[in-house]
Structure 1
Amino acid sequence: MSIPFSEPPLLQGQPSPYYSQKHIEFQRACRQFITSNLTDHAMNWEREGKVPDEVFSRFAVANFLVPHLPAPLPVHWLRRLGIDTLPGGLKAEDFDCLHTVIYFDEMQRSGLAGIPGSLSAGMTFGVPPIIRYGSKELQERFLPELLTGKKRTCIAITEPDAGSDVAGLTTEAVRSQDGRHFIINGAKKWITNGIWADYATMAVRTGGPGAKGLSLIVVPLKDYPGVTTRKILVGGQNTAGTAYIELDDVRVPVENIIGKEGEGMKYIMTNFNHERLTVAIGVARQARVTLSAAFKYCMKREAFGKTLISQPVVRHRLAKSGAKLESLWAWLEQIAFQMSKMSKDEVDIQLGGITALAKAQAAKVLDDCARCSVLLFGGNGFTQSGQGEIAEKIYRDVNGARIPGGSEDVMLDLAIRQLLLRYQSKIEEMGRSGRTTGRL
């Protein structure tokens, strides 16, 4: 029997309308491999501040990097590269968004976001735009090594003066006189995995101000002329290789442009649903880890002659945080199920606002559960070692959930604006068709 709140309902043996036997077999394979190759070592790596380089290679060889990609997977490319089967014997064409839920939940079982983050950002966020929008020539040059883990990439959007305001980016890419290169100048900041990446899928300004002037381009990083990369120490997730990237007259072939020039904002936006959902899934697991650790501690820790769990105020704290956690998880499973039944275009239109809202809510739930855990651990929760070490470390990760991937207040506002826009467009559509009732 598992500690309360330590596992989602499916893993407690409870029935679910969402998961099939294939999902369960996939989960078992993920649990076995990720536990022995990541989770069991995560705390030591967190203390050392680095995940060994060979871990990425180990995941790549075992095809455990591929599930970072959004569903449906690029089956044609995977087959060309000899990747027919995923963990648990799952066929690549059968991978759906519920497998994404399982995978990212398992990757975060240590509760330490930086550890899985050291492996994830490139495949999760940097590769999908190349798959979806890259020319055949661009894909041929980059996808074979990226999909097999022989090379690493990252997503480079955020800048020192432009974070959630993507349309305000200033890193500039100007065509050379012979028209064969873009010459890039600017800087990118808070770039996860940037210190290890061979390439970056980078947002640059190729046109005028605003969103219409943005493009996406593949920029070589490692030992490339004009590129300087240095690690940034952040408040949490320090093992994720967060980097500051400076670009000084960096010459990149024009053939490295992803899709059409000037459509970078569109390409960025279409990958946000996957990014925000995966963040929310991982954050929910972090909340599970810290809340269940506190629950276990309260069952054995004595104060005033009885265990903490015997105190009504303690049970009240656990109950409030647990209710928020389980409500969040039910919502995330519902969103993932809807995504598995809808086309990409339908998801972008109908679930963009909802996914942004879920990402913001997940971070708020983690904040609540982490604070609850630290308080119940008492002095142990304020210490970087010992019984409350996990609570202290997860609490430091809270702002890494509330800010990256779209800061909390921006996500809340974006959600309402998108929901309002969809409502208004439906009303207008009904007016044009002469209908006065019906489903919105």
Structure 2
Amino acid sequence: MATPVPFSEPPWLLGLPSPIYKETHRKWQAAIRPFIEEHLHSHAREWERAETVPDHVFGDFAKANMLIPALPAPLPVAWLKRLGIHELLGGVKVEEFDYLHSLIFADEMARSGLAGPGGSLTTGVAFGVPPILKFGNKQLQEKYLPELLKGEKRSCIAITEPDAGSDVANITTTAVKSKCGKFYIVNGTKKWITNGIWTDYSSMAVRTGPEGSGGAGLSMLVVPLKNTPGVSMRRLKVAGQISAGTTYIELDDVKVPVENLIGQEGMGMRYIMTNFNHERLTIAVGTTRQARVALSAAFEYVLKREAFGKPLMDQPVVRHRLAKAGALLESQSAWVEQFAYQMTQLKKDDADRELGGLTGLLKAQAGIVLKEAADTAVLLFGGNGFTRSGQGEIAEMIYREVPGTRIPGGSEDVMLDLAVRQLVKLYKAKTQALEAGSKL
């Protein structure tokens, strides 16, 4: 077995001690890596160049219950057991699956260095299904969850619009009740919707309140997309992650049964914000792995590439670049692991309160680290890193994906600001609680 290239794996997978991973986590990682390598990573570059992943791959993952781990932990145990799903690969019982298992899954799914192929399979499951699970009533869950959890149908999350990206409160897609009261009539557009082009059902943010009502006027609906009258979809050509199926959706008088309301009218903003926490953590994990792939590829290259009569690694400036990016990478990796561990120890409400803002900061920092690692890789590969083939191809491909990690799930500058605002809010609330307690 070859010696791992420095920075190519997180320390716990290099045999170094870790206080957070248990035997169940190690078995999980050892079980899923060969499956993901065979069914995804061995073809990832080819599929990204072709700009699509073959339809059968989604089915292959579904049959192996390898879409389920994309859901937020803890898993919907009652639903899974009802569907006959009691264990995942490696013998992990569905009731034992925690956020460290989730971290390992997201990390392994990104080991090709490319977010598109893996994202084409898991994005809809990870972010489109949870609103139904968390907030949908029994009737809605019975209607959609069996097909979605078994991978017989596909889902997506549809929030972003041409004029409302990170500014979720300004969504303009409307859902107005029909005169008969049996339907919502949906009109508007959604843009940059990952997986949308293949999607049967979307968990969609819509405006049910009056214009100008901001976040208080938002709701969420399950809106059928594929083969639905009034719905038109087309692929968007983006710089990276092309195979993930970024989609533009137009909705023209689309009739949606009122029973498809997720939770309560006017509560959409809360549902969206809660859902973002899992999305941002998942993005942070995958992005951190992409940074590993970029930096370790560059490290391996400069060990053998010669210039000015000696290997590039003998140049102090080269070592400096690797060290700078490596320090950022390992710090980010440790923070991601710490975050996932904290999620395993906190109750859901406590985690949302204590970590909600920090999740945005974690995601933003992951993008910053990836940019540094991708810049380093391209510069050290030189002309090869600027070429869409050959030894530097992976560096060039990852470089194009950097904006796709810094913008979705909340743009970087918005996340940095959100994190501090949330920390201030939490600090003031705790201070007020202490002051109130001291007066008793």
If the length of structure 1 is used for normalisation, what is the TM-score? 0.98
2:311 is the counterpart of 1:295: no
Of residues 229, 246, 249, the one that matches 1:242 is 246
Partner of 1:388 in structure 2? 392
| Unaligned 5+ runs, structure 2 | none
Partner of 1:416 in structure 2? 420
Partner Cα separation in structure 1 for residue 277 and residue 348 of structure 2: 10
Partner Cα separation in structure 2 for residue 233 and residue 48 of structure 1: 12
Deviations 1:340-373 (A, max 9, x none): 1111111110001111100000000000000000
2:175 is the counterpart of 1:173: yes
Deviations 1:13-37 (A, max 9, x none): 1110010000000001110100110
Q: Which amino acid aligns with 1:177?
A: K
- Counterpart secondary structure, 2:410: coil
Deviations 1:41-83 (A, max 9, x none): 1011111111100000000000000000000100000001011
- Deviation of residue 226 (structure 1)? 0.3
Relative to structure 1, the CA distance from residue 435 to residue 52 in structure 2 (aligned partners, 3 Å threshold; closer, same or farther) is farther
Partner of 2:355 in structure 1? 351
Of residues 24, 33, 46, the one that matches 1:31 is 33
2:284 is the counterpart of 1:318: no
2:258 is the counterpart of 1:254: yes
Partner of 1:133 in structure 2? 135
- Deviation of residue 435 (structure 1)? 7.0
- Deviation of residue 431 (structure 1)? 0.9
Q: Which amino acid aligns with 2:272?
A: I
Aligned residues: 436
- Counterpart secondary structure, 1:200: strand
2:403 is the counterpart of 1:399: yes
- Counterpart secondary structure, 2:198: coil
Partner Cα separation in structure 2 for residue 136 and residue 94 of structure 1: 24
Partner Cα separation in structure 2 for residue 226 and residue 344 of structure 1: 38
Partner of 2:218 in structure 1? 214
RMSD of aligned alpha carbons: 0.8
Deviations 1:414-433 (A, max 9, x none): 00000000000011111111
- Counterpart secondary structure, 2:432: helix
Deviations 1:79-137 (A, max 9, x none): 01011001111000000000111000000000011110101111100000100110100
Q: Which amino acid aligns with 2:225?
A: L
Q: Give the fraction of aligned pairs with identical amino acids, expressed as a percent.
A: 64
Partner of 1:154 in structure 2? 156
Q: Which amino acid aligns with 2:236?
A: I
Q: Which amino acid aligns with 1:211?
A: G
Which ranges of 4 or more aligned residues in structure 1 deviate by more than 4 Å? none
- Deviation of residue 272 (structure 1)? 1.2
Partner of 2:436 in structure 1? 432
If the length of structure 2 is used for normalisation, what is the TM-score? 0.98
Partner of 2:100 in structure 1? 98
State how 1:7-18 maps to structure 2 within 5 Å.
7-18=9-20
- Deviation of residue 294 (structure 1)? 0.3
Partner of 2:4 in structure 1? 2
Partner of 1:122 in structure 2? 124
Q: Which amino acid aligns with 1:169?
A: I
2:26 is the counterpart of 1:48: no
2:266 is the counterpart of 1:225: no
Partner of 1:264 in structure 2? 268
Partner Cα separation in structure 2 for residue 389 and residue 122 of structure 1: 28
- Counterpart secondary structure, 1:42: helix
Q: Which amino acid aligns with 1:381?
A: G
